[in-house]
Structure 1
């Protein structure tokens, strides 16, 4: 990250800026940094001015206690100012929930696109999310960062043997380093259900995306988001899953942002 802006509470937020055209800020999801969305930034940069940033507590950005979702919205306000005073937002997974909350807060957000925000679509999903919140809170309070990461990976559906393999990999220490931010994403997700009252106050166009090869509940969640906002569109990307390919996603986002 070669640039930095200062959020309202004094926290430095690191970002990279590339390309030309309408400004869009890329909001990564849990266990991710700005580097995670860098390939998408590259794919968009010939049509958009793209800001990819490290959310607070990750990468080159700072962190200031105590955490509140409002602080992350203030981070986006600072980035929007750096982008020229207005920008679109693209958020992936729980980063999409943050992008929607920022738009609902009244920031100068032109458009919002989100990809597979994991909102619960039934009571069983909501109970699983509540159980995860309790276990995650306990693990982080006890300093068991590795267990916190494992809880998150289990929530995503990763098989136990693959999780154990990940524990033995070189990347595990990096995952443990940002494990406390799992609590941030959990707070951004609220109770895990689609926040219909909040979404009803989003005043800009919203594009809710999902992968055609993803689980059905992911597509249902995206459809629910599109239906809950005043100006929403749902679209499924054929053959894509939660790890959407930038080459497939970028043209869809560019078309939406140009509109």
Structure 2
């Protein structure tokens, strides 16, 4: 628990801004102070980081965008790439005047790319950015099968394909029959659908977004060295129980980015920054928020590795 007083969720406001290609991007705001933009990861919307926003809102104005294709933001449109993510973030930064940004997993890669080209970003924190050092077929080649299954309406099968391809589940998933995994996933989806309130983001509604996360992962594979020109201060975060295939990139980035700090949280996994839920029982947003508070309030570093 932190000693500062949390604001209530009722203080959250919603605004919209137009990205370069005309797409409307929704963002939710809470708190008072210097601006921080918190970008959510895969199979999430802005509301998956409300707890962390509330932890920070006594000292910062926290902005929570719905990345395109999710929540209240507009659709992906044609020609999706990391550049679209950068343009969306830039629109929010210009509208809010914020200079600090946090990203996790897929959005972590987009945030790092944005820090290369947007001088308005002064500090960046990323939690296990979805960056791989080379284009590994297992990690990037699952999208074709996923697309076929989704086109056939086999959402549970598609989710299993993405989980196996991205190695998101426990090791036992690799030896379980795919049919059993699909059946179990279908049961979880049905249970979630039954209990969902109108407008809730569910596995079923978020599943199509995984195609675009796969596109982003493949586009950015093997690009770690380009981040040598990032001028912003960067905080690299991860958990000791995080995704193993992302740890090599964290180590490379630590050596590549000029002004960088790195922190590993003992016992935390890939979903640590997000709200606690049935799908994310190990979330510890208050722990990650405490480190963000330290980083975003600290004086400018002189260049650490």
Secondary structure in 2 matching 1:170 = helix
Residue 77 of structure 1 corresponds to: 90
TM-score when scaled to structure 2?
Answer: 0.75
Check the 8 A contact 1:200/1:230 in 2, yes or no: yes
Once the 2 structures are TM-superposed, how far is the Cα of residue 171 of structure 1 from its aligned partner?
4.3
> Which has the higher mean CA deviation after the structures are superposed, 110-119 or 129-138?
129-138
Check the 8 A contact 1:210/1:218 in 2, yes or no: no
Residue 130 of structure 1 corresponds to: 140
Describe how 1:178-257 pairs up with structure 2 within 5 A: 178-191=206-219, 193-244=221-272, 245-257=284-296
Match among 140, 151, 154 for residue 161 of structure 2 = 151
Q: Structure 1 residues 162 and 23, CA, compared in 2 at 3 Å: closer, same or farther?
A: farther
> Which has the higher mean CA deviation after the structures are superposed, 175-184 or 164-173?
164-173
Match among 128, 131, 141 for residue 116 of structure 1 = 128
Check the 8 A contact 1:153/1:163 in 2, yes or no: no
> Which has the higher mean CA deviation after the structures are superposed, 15-24 or 179-188?
179-188
Secondary structure in 1 matching 2:296 = helix
- Structure 2 gaps of 5+ residues are 1-12, 174-180, 195-200, 273-283, 299-305
Residue 10 of structure 1 corresponds to: 22
How big is the alpha-carbon RMSD for the aligned residues of Structure 1 and Structure 2? 2.5
Check the 8 A contact 1:120/1:221 in 2, yes or no: yes
Check the 8 A contact 1:22/1:257 in 2, yes or no: no
Taking the aligned partners of 1:24 and 1:49, their CA distance within structure 2 comes to: 6
Aligned length: 256
Match among 157, 167, 191 for residue 169 of structure 1 = 191
Q: Structure 1 residues 98 and 36, CA, compared in 2 at 3 Å: closer, same or farther?
A: same
Determine which structure has more spread, i.e. the larger CA radius of gyration. Answer: 2
Kindly provide the CA deviation profile for residues 209-242 of structure 1, in whole angstroms up to 9, marking residues without a partner as x: 1112335444333222222222222210122111
TM-score when scaled to structure 1?
Answer: 0.87
Once the 2 structures are TM-superposed, how far is the Cα of residue 56 of structure 1 from its aligned partner?
0.7
Taking the aligned partners of 2:225 and 2:62, their CA distance within structure 1 comes to: 30
